Structure 1
Amino acid sequence: MRAAIPDISAAIMSTVKALHEEGARNILVEDIYPVACMAIVITAASKDASGDTDPLDSDGCVKLVDDLSRLHNSILKEQVVAFAQKYSDDLSISLVETYSIRRDLMTNPQKYGFKYGTESMLRCRRSTWAIQDR
């Protein structure tokens, strides 16, 4: 999966290039949000019914998925900067970095007046992929 990250970022930039070629001059590119902290991803990382999961980080997010998200965002940022420099004479392009804002919201929900962050109001069960109210 790690090897595919540069291709994913390149595909996004290919779309940006196509937009520019069609006349777009003001472009916003958004980074990927912290999917590793989503309840469904944490549940999907579960190995068995006992609840054992792939390694979680200190915030309770799936470490491998988070590492891939951060790698993607880093590569995407480099590509946006390079594109902006190449077309600086007629283009305004910005990377909207929402990852850290969203991660803080998901891992510190009480700080923002929410009850749930990395866990869902509805519990996901991996065995049947059913969602039940709790």
Structure 2
Amino acid sequence: MCTFCVLRASQSWRYPKQMTYQEALTCQISDHQLECQYLLLCLYHADEEHIAVADPCINVRNYTSVIKSPIWLDRVVEKLQQNLYQSVQHFVSDVLLIFTNCATFNRDNAEFRVMGERLKDLFEREFKSTFSIQLQHPTASNSQ
């Protein structure tokens, strides 16, 4: 079975204890490599147009004049494989930067902006599910 299938099938018993969003972010990446790989696979699978996969600096005109910190899924995979992330938070920050960059660059292109927003929503849902994030009380601070 592939990483995607193994993790999806084992989610219910891997983390019987729920944690907060902040607790998940502070976890060492070395203890959660499989979960991060699973999240990346979810994004690759959902990104049918491949808007977040490859280096946009190569094929997208004026990208670096608008985006100062380019990042894309293939680069996140490389960084994960090269153990360049110390915590889950560093990994999540790079993934979320992909969506921030997408929204910034495509502020006048609703089609691509919406695709990026859908991928971001998927990532956030899957992250919470994968790490058994407990739902916060509505009055709790939204520091997510």
Same fold (TM over 0.5): no
Q: Give the TM-score taking structure 1 as reference length.
A: 0.30
Structure with larger Rg: 1
Q: Which protein is richer in strand relative to its size?
A: 1
Q: Which protein is richer in helix relative to its size?
A: 2
Q: Give the TM-score taking structure 2 as reference length.
A: 0.29
